[in-house]
Amino acid sequence: MRNIFSILIGTSIIFLPITLTFADDGILFKSQRDFLASKGLTFDPYVIEDYISVYKGGLIDNNTWLGRFDFVSDLDLEKAGLLQGGLLHLDLLNVHGGLKPTADHMVGDLQTVSDIEATRSTRIYEGWYQQSLFDNKFSVKFGLVDLNSEFLVSDSGNLYINSSMNIMSSFWVGNNSDAIYPEPVPAARLKYSPNENFDFLAGFFQGNPLNNDVNDHSTHFGNGEGLLSIEEGQYHYKLPVEGGLAGTIKGGFWYNSTDVGNIDGDYGTYAMLDQRIYQVNETQGLNIFIFGGGSPEDRNTVEDSLAGGLNYTGLIPFRPKDVMGIACTDSYFSDKLRAAGQGSNETTYEWTYQIQIHDGVYLQPDIQYVQHPNGEDAIKNASVFMLRTEIHF
């Protein structure tokens, strides 16, 4: 009964009227923040809360709650009258919830059903300085940086809640997990944009940082051994059809000099496609996305990963800003693990519906079905219901 009730609550939210609002302006201290923004200082405090219920399969039928709160601030030094092209960024993060059993303990999967699950902590999440030059054609960023803020990003994939819909498992499972949420590392990023169609990025990240048990506030940076480098090219275009269907192709290569066991270093490649295939107007229509990557099987848990799906914005006429999506992500385990008796892959199917109640206020019912969690036959296929709330204050 508990699970049926939860599903009914989540799916019925779809029919909330678009006119439902929380306040006339929807922003705390709007006039004061508008004044500060004119001087270059902006704030974006937001909170994400996930209710998760495993109602069949996995390791245990149960429910839990996860949450994160971010206080994000930017200072545009040019608007502040200090330095042309300069930008300071600070993100303070609090990870909460995660009451036992955690989602990992309930499902037992590798790819993790929620992209905000992490050890409870309060930390500096990102803190960096960026300088733009030559009419914004070139920029350099350095400081504490989340690699996934600019690299390996699928705009359509970001709709989904499963971790591997946002960043492919062939990259983050292993040493590279310390360069992304919730543990960004000291880094430098270069970006060159010769025109509106092309972007070229190169990033250099600490390759062997302290783990979360030691570095739970992001104030200790380990011994500095190892370097993770990543290079990515991006091509933005519009198909030569009426209305011009926008698309983006990305491809890249990464190398981590940190040893994996007795093997020197690790590396991998990836490619991504986001494409509008049907358009009602500039904001409404159907998008398709697909991305995949690979890494050597002799030193990685995941040899290859692949994800893809379809997103439709404005499917319901009286909810033009809502987005519905259906997608699948698959992680293929290395031959070494298969020889040790583990299954060949883990596959997750996800249906989600993001409801924009007001500017900056979202509810998102989500259903995931995980086949072969962690590639182990002993763990039953898991059916998971989730309800995400996101509020920008």
Q: What pLDDT was estimated at residue 306?
A: 96
| 25 has pLDDT over 80 | no
CA distance 165 to 85: 33
Residue 40 and residue 77 in contact, taking contact as beta carbons nearer than 8 Å: yes
Q: What pLDDT was estimated at residue 18?
A: 42
Joined tokens for residue 33: 């923040």
> CA nearest 203: which of 270, 148, 258, 137?
148
Q: Considering its fold, how many domains does the chain have in total?
A: 1
pLDDT digits (tens, 9 = 90+) for 328-379: 999 998 876 665 556 788 999 999 999 999 888 999 999 999 999 988 888 9
pLDDT digits (tens, 9 = 90+) for 42-67: 999 999 999 999 999 999 888 999 99
> CA nearest 385: which of 367, 364, 363?
367
| 17 has pLDDT over 50 | no
| 271 has pLDDT over 50 | yes
User: Residue 76 maps to which CATH number?
Assistant: 2.40.160.180
CA distances from 264 to 187, 232, 234, 253 (A): 22, 23, 29, 17
Average pLDDT, the chain: 87
Q: What pLDDT was estimated at residue 324?
A: 97
Joined tokens for residue 303: 């040899």
Which range of residues forms the domain containing residue 341? 2-392
Q: What pLDDT was estimated at residue 29?
A: 79
pTM of the model: 0.88
Amino acid letter, 168 = M
